């Protein structure tokens, strides 16, 4: 069955602090956004990608992707969730599956994509790629404004995961959940959190830790390395 992908790409990349949004930085010969879209089209079920970009984006139209008939553009919003919501609105069949993937995650491997799709397709409430937490986890607290935080406690990492993307859901379930969560003022930083807010239980699919979200300048060299490995 066909799966539509929605790619939020309307962020400004404030933590990267480059001369342009990070999805337009060059890594391993192409922009990060181009790598990300290529990775998605590796899967035969993904034949349409909806990209949310900023209304004032001057960069996308210069890419070869701009004339790809499989791609639809929508205007992104103020927050990531708004951009995703705008992308969902461009999907007609609300009983189909949608896969949401950050523009800033160019190192997605086909094997992870395949396992996510296999698990989500059989699920009631969708599934997300995630990687188990490796480090010991601490909860800090502000002791005083002029001192480093103190340690309140060690958080049991037994069932702790990093939420990655892609995240895959039925279009109607995700659209309704996002709408409800946003209306209620919930803090929504990924798609699954909107479903959780509505009482649904999406599933965790163990994915590779190198599916990093390029966030800070030092991530560029890592992404470059992983992409060289992928394309070898
Ligand atoms: N995104 C979006 N619309 C927004 C904010 C973010 O489509 N209003 C997208 C980004 O382009 C990115 C993904 O959501 O592909 C994940 O967001 P993040 O890594 O936080 O990117 P930025 O918001 O651009 O970076 P920063 O938070 O450092 O400003
Ligand atoms: Mg952000």
At residue 207, the pLDDT reads 98
**Predicted TM-score of the model (pTM):** 0.97
If you write DSSP's letter for every residue of 2-42 in order, what string do you get?
A: -EEEEEEE----TTT--SS-GGGSEETTEEHHHHHHHHHHT
**Residues of the chain with confidence (pLDDT) below 70:** 232
Q: What is the pLDDT of residues 1-58, one digit of tens each?
A: 799 999 999 999 999 999 999 999 999 999 999 999 999 999 999 999 999 999 999 9
| CA 67 to centroid of ligand 1, rounded, Å | 24
Q: Residues 6 or more apart from 63 whose CB is under 8 A from it? A: 31, 33, 34
Does 57 contact ligand 1 (Cβ within 6 A)? no
pLDDT at 232: 67
Q: Is the CB of 76 under 6 A from ligand 1?
A: yes
Ligand in closest contact with the CA of 25 = 1
Which pLDDT score, from 0 to 100, does residue 102 have? Answer: 98
For residue 82, how far is its CA from the centre of ligand 2 (angstroms)?
Answer: 12
d(C-alpha 184, C-alpha 181), whole Å: 5
């Amino acid at each position: 069955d066909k799966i539509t992908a929605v790619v939020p790409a309307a962020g400004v990349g404030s933590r990267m602090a480059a001369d342009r949004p990070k999805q337009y930085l060059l890594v391993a010969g192409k922009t990060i956004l181009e790598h990300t879209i290529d990775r998605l089209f590796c899967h035969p079920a993904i034949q349409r990608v909806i990209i949310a970009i900023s209304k004032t984006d001057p960069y996308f139209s210069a890419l070869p992707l701009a004339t790809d008939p499989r791609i639809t553009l929508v205007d992104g919003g103020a927050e990531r969730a708004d951009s995703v919501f705008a992308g969902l609105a461009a999907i007609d069949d609300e009983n189909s599956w949608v896969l949401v993937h950050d523009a800033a995650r160019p190192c997605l491997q086909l094997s992870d994509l395949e396992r996510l799709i296999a698990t989500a397709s059989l699920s009631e409430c969708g599934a997300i790629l995630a990687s188990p937490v490796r480090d010991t986890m601490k909860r800090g607290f502000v002791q005083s404004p002029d001192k480093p935080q103190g340690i309140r406690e060690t958080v049991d990492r037994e069932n702790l995961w990093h939420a990655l993307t892609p995240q895959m859901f039925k279009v109607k379930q995700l659209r309704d959940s996002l709408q409800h969560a946003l209306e209620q003022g919930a803090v929504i930083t990924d798609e699954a959190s909107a479903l959780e807010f509505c009482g649904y239980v999406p599933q965790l699919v163990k994915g590779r830790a190198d599916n990093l979200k390029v966030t800070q300048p030092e991530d560029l060299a890592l992404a470059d390395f992983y992409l060289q490995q992928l394309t070898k």
